[in-house]
Homo-oligomer: A and B are copies of this chain.
Amino acid sequence: MGASVTRQLIESHVVGGTPAPGEEIALRVDQTLAQDATGTLVMQELEAIGLDRARTEVSVQYVDHNLLQADERNAEDHAFLRSAARRYGLWFSKPGNGVSHPTHMQRFGVPGRTLVGSDSHTCAAGSLGMLAIGVGGLEVALAIAGRPLYLRTPRVFGVRLVGRLGPWVSAKDVILEMLRRHGVNGGLDTVIEYYGPGLAGLSAMDRHVIANMGAELGATSTVFPSDAAVREFLRAEGREDDFVELAAAEDAEYDLTDEIDLGAVEPLIARPSSPGNVVPVREVAGEPVSQVVIGSSANPGTRDFAIAAAMVAGRQTHDGVSFDVNPTSRQILQDLTRMGATFDLIAAGARIHQAGCMGCIGMGQAPAVGQNSLRTFPRNFPGRSGTREDAVWLCSPETAAASALTGEITDPRDLADLSYPELALPARSSVNTAMLERPPPADEARDEKLVKGPNISALPDFEPLPDAVDAPVLLKMGDDVSTDEISPAGARALPFRSNIPKLAEFTFGGVDEGYPRRAAERGAHVVVAGRNYGQGSSREHAAITPRYLGLVAVVAKSFARIHWQNLANFGVVPLEFADPDDYDAVDPDDTLRLANLREALSSGAELEVINLGKDTPLRVRHRLSARQVDTILAGGAIAGLAHRPAREEPS
């Protein structure tokens, strides 16, 4: 049996363990990326490690999240990140240079390499035939320091593409079709690998759209082969020399399979408030729309903006609609401006914003309560827009632009007076690296001082795990709780991403605002959740801030991968109900007795917990590796880093 691209990538990078599904392996990391909302912790972790200089082939610190600068905190974060990038030998992508994922793909991505990034959409680089995995910031810091990435070996989910997309249907509709079929849990513990004749009609940036939102299926990553489309992309970026061909063996086998006929895909849209609520656009056509936003890493390419520009060119968007355009990078905005698309968008009434994540992470562009906002973004979890009772829908640029013209949700195929535009995209992109600062040479870098404004707090110290604790259940949650609900995105909380004590006041803000106060009163405690707990973004803050407030363990039906790893990294025990029905046997304010905890974790995967509230035993289990158990017993990885800098630095 021949190897899939995914298996080839794993085989060429494994440095420990046996790559069999479910087994923990260690992978060599070639490249890393961080963005600012997670990166300030990465840099503080590098400082705790005592790193001298990055040991990867390429490491980049992007600034794309905290761009509003409503007060001095954002600017202080940026100054800190720049100084730390220079000190530790990372590239620095200035505020306004663009969203990490498309920028990284354009300037740094190389087929066949591994990439880890402290952003859940890092997987977008799978479009170039990379194995690109979103992780918590600590994993990125360790990778920068030359340590391997530890990972539970995923299964490979092969999706065969046949046919060609019709007019008005684009890559976004393909990934929405995947979400329609498989839901937000459909990719758990898998790498989704696309193959087949349908690939020929998808550009590398189209594949980015599909790979990016693999995160919404819960997949560990998404992988495409590196073929002619990738070569063409790298040529347009002036980097054809970086091209490496990568293809699955003819007889490659997959652990799971599916097939999509691209010609049968129609315009789709995710209803509020989950990327999994996908329906055909025609099913909801006519709903009034007050905002339309184009942009984000889920539709980042020149083509995605150009198609919208061509649709609105010479027309006016609807009076009742705010039509917002977020260029994903400076380079892409430069291309769009050169080809006239920026002009067409402005003339049609667009609000053109600076290049960055913007509304996608709730930094501005919040809609009015209950008013429909159509976005080409990857996520619409409740409140992520910055508005508590929001109504955010996810769709393609074609559907978004059509709806901006009519003022109501519109299938672009139903626009009577518009024929499908022919786009003339530039064969060469602008290639502008001037907002990417190259790190100084090592000897010069050693003189670089870290610039720490008052908002950059020290990393908190955590105690080792207690051996026994009677812990009240402070929260009981349902399925699919996102990290947006645990540690909110948005303009109120994000500026405190470098300040754990302050950020902790927002913990579980999307679930129960009383949690921080109760945690302060009750001390050590647990929370209970349903399936897929911690889906969404990679922010380790969703583990650190509840830990800071006394969280000892989470008992859930199942966990999303990155958050599960973050909990372990910060000393919180992620436990699963051995019998999911036991979820119903625990109520808020019950107290769980965790006894003999240290030995129980070390000695086996199952342990017993007593629900003192009901006086009943409860069987729970963990999926931690021995390495992870050690980390938890020590109180998390930061404690280890801070106290043993020399050992953490590989020779």
Binding site for B on A (CB under 8 A): 67-72, 74-76, 78-79, 82, 94-96, 290-291, 316, 319-320, 322, 324, 330, 333-334, 337-338, 342-343, 346-355, 359, 363-369, 371, 386-388, 390, 430, 432, 434-435, 437, 453-454, 490-492
Contacts A322-B96, A353-B353; A491 near B366 (Cβ below 8 A): no
A68-B70, A72-B388 are known contacts. Are A352 and B351 too (CB-CB below 8 A)? no
A71 contact set on B, CB distance < 8 A: 366, 386-388, 490-492
The answer to whether B74 touches A349 (Cβ under 8 A) is no
Name the contact of A351 in the complex, choosing from B351, B355, B368, B390 (C-beta under 8 A).
B355
Instruction: Pull 7 A–B residue pairs with CB atoms less than 8 Å apart, ordered by A.
Output: A70-B491, A72-B369, A72-B390, A75-B368, A337-B337, A349-B434, A368-B453
Query: How far apart sit A355 and B354, CA to CA, in the bound complex (Å)?
Result: 11
Considering the complex, give the chain B residue whose CB is closest to the CB of A430. Answer: B347
A324 / chain B contacts, CB cutoff of 8 Å? 96
Q: How far is the CB of A455 from chain B (nearest CB, A)?
A: 9
Residues of B within 8 A of A363 (CB): 70
> Chain B's nearest CB lies how many Å from the CB of A651?
33
Q: Which residue of B is nearest A79, CB measured?
A: B368
- Interchain CB contact under 8 A, A322 and B491: no
* Contact call B368/A76, Cβ cutoff below 8 A: yes
- In the complex, what residue of chain B is closest to A340 when comparing beta carbons? B337
Q: Would you call B354 and A353 a contact (CB within 8 A)?
A: yes
Across the interface, do B349 and A72 meet the contact criterion of CB distance under 8 Å?
Answer: no
Please name all residues of chain B whose beta carbon is closer than 8 Å to the beta carbon of A334 when the two chains form the complex.
Answer: 343, 346-347
Residue of A330, A346, A359, A365 with most partner-chain B CB within 10 A = A346
Instruction: Provide the bound-state CA to CA distance between A333 and B491, in Å.
Output: 27
* Cross-chain contact A368 with B72 (CB below 8 angstroms): yes
Inter-subunit contact A352/B354 (CB<8 Å): yes
Chain A facing B: main interface SS: loop
Do B352 and A69 have beta carbons less than 8 Å apart? no
The quantity of this chain's copies bound in the complex is: 2
Q: Are A346 and B333 in contact (CB under 8 A)?
A: yes
Contacts of A434 in B (CB 8 A): 316, 347-349
Residues of chain B contacted by A333 (CB below 8 angstroms): 346, 352
CB-defined contacts of A320 to chain B, threshold 8 Å: 82
- A322–B573 alpha-carbon span in the complex (Å): 43
Contacts of A492 in B (CB 8 A): 70-71
User: Which residues of B sit under 8 angstroms from A353, Cβ to Cβ?
Assistant: 353-354
User: B351 to A342, Cβ gap below 8 A?
Assistant: no
A386's nearest neighbour on chain B, judged by CB, is B71
Known A322-B95, A349-B94, A434-B316; judge A70-B490 contact (CB<8 A): yes
The complex places the Cα of A598 from the Cα of B94 at a distance, in Å, of 61
B-side contacts of A82, CB under 8 Å: 320
Q: Are A337 and B330 in contact (CB under 8 A)?
A: no
In the complex, which residues of chain B have a beta carbon less than 8 angstroms from the beta carbon of A94?
319, 322, 349
Q: Are A75 and B366 CB-contacts (below 8 A) given A322-B94, A434-B316, A490-B70?
A: yes
Q: How far is the CB of A307 from chain B (nearest CB, A)?
A: 19
Report chain B residues within 8 Å CB of A351: 67, 95-96, 354-355
**Taking the nearest CB of chain B, how far is it from the CB of A437, in angstroms?**
5
Assembly CA distance A233 to B588 (angstroms)? 69
Known: A322-B95, A334-B343. A75 touches B349 (CB 8 A): no
Contacting residues, chain B, for A346 (C-beta < 8 A): 330, 333-334, 337
- Separation in Å of the A44 CB from the closest CB of chain B? 18
Task: Decide if B350 touches A96 in the complex (CB within 8 Å).
Answer: yes
Assembled-state Cα–Cα distance A390/B351 (Å): 29
Contact yes or no, A367 B72, CB < 8 A? yes
| Chain B proximity of A373: nearest CB distance (Å) | 9
Q: Which residues of B contact A368 (CB under 8 A)?
A: 72, 75-76, 78-79, 453
Inter-chain contact B70/A366, CB cutoff 8 Å = yes
Chain B residues contacting A349 (CB-CB under 8 Å) are: 94, 96, 330, 434-435
Residue of B69, B366, B490 near A386 (CB, 8 A) is B69
Distance from A130 Cβ to chain B, minimum over Cβ atoms (Å): 28
- The answer on a CB contact under 8 Å between A366 and B74 is yes
A95 to B333, CA, bound (A): 21
With CB as the reference atom, state the residue of chain B lying closest to A73: B366
Query: For the complex, what is the distance from the CA of A220 to the CA of B228, rounded to whole Å?
Result: 68
Chain B residues with CB under 8 Å of A348's CB are 434
